[in-house]
Amino acid sequence: MPDENRPIGVAVVGFGWMGRVHTQAYSRLPHHFSVKRPAALIAVVDEVADRGATAAARFGFSRSVTDWRRLLDDPTIEAVSITAPNYAHRELGEAFASAGKHIWIEKPVGVTSADARAVQSAVHTAGVQSVVGFNYRNVPAVQEARNLVAAGAIGRVTHASLRMLGDYAADAAGAFTWRYELARAGHGVIGDLASHAIDLIIHLLGDIDEVVADGAIFVPERRRPRAVTTGHARVEDGELVVVENEDWLSAILRLRSGARVTLEASRVAVGHQNDYGLRIHGTRGVIEWDFRRMGELGVAIGDAAQDLPIATTFVGPRVGDFGAFQPGAAIAMGYDDLKVIEAEAFLRSIASGAPAEASIDAAVAVADVLDALADSASRRTWVSIGNERARA
């Protein structure tokens, strides 16, 4: 009989920043959770050979390769982290799932909802497990917000607002990369940041019925770098290329519950770094959360319709997975901790055979809304999510 406690051989495909985060999460996992089957780092894949070789030596992978296809039939690899750019998600997701490999894949899972649905089909057909990188739902304070909403603590939810503001693309001298191309990135800030917001809305408040949106490109041209760059490097010379997808989005969403939600997302918001947050209003109170103060939750609950004060609470070990990292309230957690929680859910789903939350099914639900937002911004009209699914 196979050893049910044997390590799970993993590969990481694409070793940029997110590939490193996944790798570190696998390595840290036993420090925070009792793991039935820990990860064994087998292979790292990067088309830049030196980068892959450096990653293998630094993080302890058994080997590095430049061609991911060499791993499809490798019996030592049971699970794969897909941290490559958007345009590669569909091909990689379908191929590894069809080869019987469990996949932890970053959002938004492809360029369109059709891509996400193709990966979903491959996952379900092969009977493998999947986790998608919607990491903000793993924040203990967000988990507590969900508990409060579900328990009716703030009454019936009437309206909410979410923001996802960043400045990573605000510099007009920032290099033209795949992120600005429709064919390789698909959506711009819609897929990059608004995808997280849509997942939070569905996770906290339920299904979305209709959307109306407006989008804009505020940096219309960027220079194509003459050599390989990393991150959001500045480029002083090179060919000027037209930016093809949106820098900014504003939207109104009607939920199935009857609640309304406003959303703003920007990648060119000067002065705002990782300014992500939410506010949920109900008939008996309000809940507020800011990613930059990740362990805090602003809450007002009571029968007074007016002059109800908002109190700041600090989540502690009783909330979500906080206790796996810190022993007492108000001790800060970090972004990378959220990916450790994701890694635990992924490996646990493989060991148990039970699907984890934020699976490929969640990614498809989000992708349908993303396509509807883009469609609405283009046609300047309300778009039904059901109708958008019918067109996909």
Map out the domains of the chain as residue ranges. Answer: 8-135, 137-333+365-379
How is domain 137-333+365-379 classified at the CATH fold level?
Dihydrodipicolinate Reductase; domain 2 (3.30.360)
Describe the crossing of helices 140-150 and 195-205 by its angle, rounded to 10 degrees. 40
Q: How far is C-alpha 154 from the geometric centre of its chain's CA atoms?
A: 27
| Geometric angle at alpha carbon 121, from 115 and 126, rounded to 5° | 130
Half-sphere exposure of 10 (CA within 13 A, CB side): 30
**What's the confidence (pLDDT) of residue 390?**
34
Four-residue CA torsion sign, 221, 230, 193, 290: negative
Query: For residue 149, what pLDDT is reported?
Result: 98
Number of C-alpha atoms within 13 angstroms, CB side, residue 3?
7
Backbone phi, then psi, for 302, in 5-degree steps? 170, 175
Nearest to 278 by CA among 137, 117, 107: 137
Q: Give me the tens of pLDDT residue by residue for the chain, a chain 392 residues long.
A: 346 789 999 999 999 999 999 999 999 999 999 999 999 999 999 998 899 999 999 999 999 999 999 999 999 999 999 999 999 999 999 999 999 999 999 999 999 999 999 999 999 999 999 999 999 999 999 999 999 999 999 999 999 999 999 999 999 999 999 999 999 999 999 999 999 999 999 999 999 999 999 999 999 999 998 876 666 788 888 899 999 999 999 999 999 999 999 999 999 999 999 999 999 999 999 999 999 999 999 999 999 889 999 999 999 999 999 999 999 999 999 999 999 999 999 999 999 999 999 999 999 999 999 999 999 999 999 999 974 443 33
The reported pLDDT for the residue numbered 228 is: 67
pTM to 2 decimal places: 0.95
* Closest CA relative to residue 18, chosen from 49, 60, 46: 46
Token pair, residue 301, equals 């609950």
Tokens 């930016």: give the residue: 243
Quick one: how far is CA 339 from the chain centroid?
10
Q: What is the pLDDT of residue 3?
A: 64
* 207: its two tokens: 């299904």
In words, the CATH class of domain 8-135 is: alpha beta
With vertex at residue 24, the alpha carbon angle to CA 22 and CA 28, rounded to the nearest 5 degrees, is: 120
Helices (H), 130-194: 140-150, 182-185, 189
d(CA 349, CA 336): 20
Q: Let me know: does 132 contact 362? Beta carbons within 8 Å.
A: yes
Separation of alpha carbons 16 and 86, rounded Å: 13
Residue 391 in 3-state DSSP?
helix
| Token pair belonging to 356 | 């984890």
Q: What is the dihedral of CA 338, 340, 346, 350, to 10 degrees?
A: -160
DSSP 174: B
Do residues 309 and 285 touch, judged by C-beta distance below 8 A?
no
The helix (H) or strand (E) run that includes residue 11 is strand 8-13
Show the tokens assigned to 107: 């959002």
**319 and 141 in contact (C-beta within 8 Å)?**
yes
Residue matched to tokens 């019925």: 209
DSSP state of 233: -
Please tell me the predicted confidence (pLDDT) of residue 5: 82
Whole-angstrom Cα distance, residue 136 to residue 366?
A: 14
Dist CA 358 CA 349 (whole Å): 12
Amino acid at 244: E
In this prediction, residue 230 carries a pLDDT of: 65
